[in-house]
Amino acid sequence: MKLAIIHDSIGQYGGAEKVLEEMHAAFPDAPIFMALWNQKGLPPHFRQWDVRTSWLDRLPGARRWHRALFPLYPMAMHGFDLSGFDVVLSSSFNFAHNVVVGPEAVHICYCHSPARFLWDFHGYAERERFGRLTRGAVSAMLPTLRTMDAVAAMRVDHWISTSRLVQQRIGKYYRRESEILPPPIRVAEFRMGQGPGEHFLLLMRLVGWKRADIAIEACNRLKLPLVVAGDGRDTARLRAMAGPTIRFAGRVDGAEKAALYARSTALILPAVEDFGITPLESMAAGRPVIALGAGGALDTVRPGVTGEFFPEQNAESLIETLSAFRPEHYDSEVIRAHAETFDAVAFRAQLRQIVAAHAPPAGSLKPPRPTARLPPAELAARPAG
């Protein structure tokens, strides 16, 4: 069986890239196709992979202006020659599932989420603070891009979703069923924390929609120690609002990140994540999570056992939960045991099983794939949300 892995693009080392890392570990001989490949800031072993980029990656300035080039991504994905592969495994958060495979090949898509800027554009534009000109320009392209996305979704043979939230989105926007395979963590990379911890922890990209401001405001008002780890375009604004109990650690990874988890009292997650890796990393260190009761956190946080939820995405709701939070009520061993059910070893084994179950037998035609219940034009015209 010849297998290829498809990834949208790499511009940073985030959750999707960690999933890609485990996909490569599961299928180490598979080449990886992606639209853009920016090696800056990536772990050194990524450079040893067989990465094959699209024509888009060779355009002058494409890596710098990658966000502005999004209308070209579907065409870049269409340009890959995948005719020699029996199975194509895509890791898609925007357009990776747009690839075209051979008529007897099977396309399995691991979907981090249908593209939010396509199917939840108004919410996305608000979170990203688009100006009127940008909103207008993107809005004009949405009908065409949604139609292309819906048609591409029909070509996928089997869908994998990261969480119940993403499963619902795939059903809503693509009218397709999917099975859930949560993203993995490497539990062995985290050591158990001791004692009650020194600080609360916020670890994320510092961009507006992640709502780091909620945690900073809550800890300001309660005078609780908070370490903010990560960077992003909101860093200056967040630093300006932070009080004396807030410390910014910048971007962290590896041993430094593991140490922050081990020394924390709890991780705070104020964002609506598609899944969210950081809660599981915190649990791998035996530390509970205080999360907004929405999104992927609903699949990982068990109230009273591995953490707590706050119901509304505002500082007042978080303050109420933080005021009632008692770290001594949580068993670190139980928390870590829960994280171990999401370990990378189990993820790779389950992914191989899924691929084996859907791969076409040698010399045979693949079974017909399910079709969407709505025609592409009608599907694309449906309002998001």
* Same domain assignment for residues 244 and 138: no
Q: How many domains does the chain have?
A: 2
328 and 198 inside one domain: yes
pTM of the model: 0.82
Residue 213 sits in a domain whose CATH number is 3.40.50.2000
Closest CA to 183 of 4, 344, 6: 344
Band of pLDDT at residue 375, cut at 50, 70 and 90: very low
Task: Tell whether the torsion through CA atoms of 90, 93, 266 and 317 is positive or negative.
Answer: negative
- What is the pLDDT at residue 137? 79
**pLDDT at residue 372 above 70?**
no
Question: Among the ranges 35-44, 117-126, 285-294, which has the highest mean pLDDT value?
Answer: 285-294
Whether residue 274 sits in one domain with residue 374 = no
Q: What value does the mean pLDDT of the chain take?
A: 89
Q: How far apart are CA 113 and CA 193, in angstroms?
A: 32
User: Residue 367's pLDDT is what?
Assistant: 56
Return the CATH number at 117.
3.40.50
The residue among 354, 297, 278, 283 whose CA lies nearest residue 110 is 354
Could you report the per-residue pLDDT of 58-85, keeping only the tens digit for each? Answer: 888 767 766 767 778 889 999 999 999 9
Same domain, 196 and 162: no
Give the tens place of pLDDT for each residue, 140-190.
888 888 999 999 999 999 999 999 999 999 999 999 999 999 999 999 999
- Is 107 found in the same domain as 39? yes
Enclosing domain of residue 255 = 187-340
| Backbone phi, psi, residue 187, to 5° | -60, -35
Work out the number of other CB atoms within 10 angstroms of the CB of residue 63.
18
| Closest by CA position to 107, among listed 4, 221, 223 | 4
Q: Are residues 147 and 232 in the same domain?
A: no
Query: Is the CB of residue 262 less than 8 Å from the CB of residue 191?
Result: yes
Query: 335 pLDDT band (50/70/90 cuts)?
Result: very high
Query: Strand ranges (DSSP E) for the chain?
Result: 3-10, 32-37, 51-53, 87-92, 106-111, 158-161, 179-180, 199-203, 226-229, 246-250, 264-269, 289-292, 307-310
**CA within 13 Å, CB half, 104:** 11
| Residue 384: pLDDT over 50 | no
265 lies in the same domain as 216:
yes
Banded model confidence at residue 322, pLDDT cuts 50, 70, 90 = very high
- Per-residue CA distances from 293 to 28, 272, 297, 377 (Å): 37, 8, 7, 35
Same domain, yes or no, for 291 and 267? yes
Asked if 141 and 261 sit in the same domain, the reply is no
Q: Which pLDDT does position 58 carry in this prediction?
A: 85
Which whole number is the average pLDDT over 118-126?
A: 76
Strand order across the 158-161 sheet: 51-53, 32-37, 3-10, 87-92, 106-111, 158-161, 179-180
Q: Looking at the structure, tell me whether residues 202 and 151 fall in a common domain.
A: no
Same domain (yes/no): 332, 352 = no
In this structure, what are the phi and psi dihedrals at residue 349, rounded to the nearest 5 degrees? -65, -45
- Going from the C-alpha of 303 to that of each of 272, 286, 321, 333, 335, the distances in angstroms are 17, 15, 12, 16, 11
Is there a single domain that holds both residue 281 and residue 354? no
What does 24-50 look like in DSSP terms, one character per residue? Answer: HHHSTT--EEEEEE--TTS-GGGGGS-
- Could you identify the residue written with the tokens 């929405």? 294
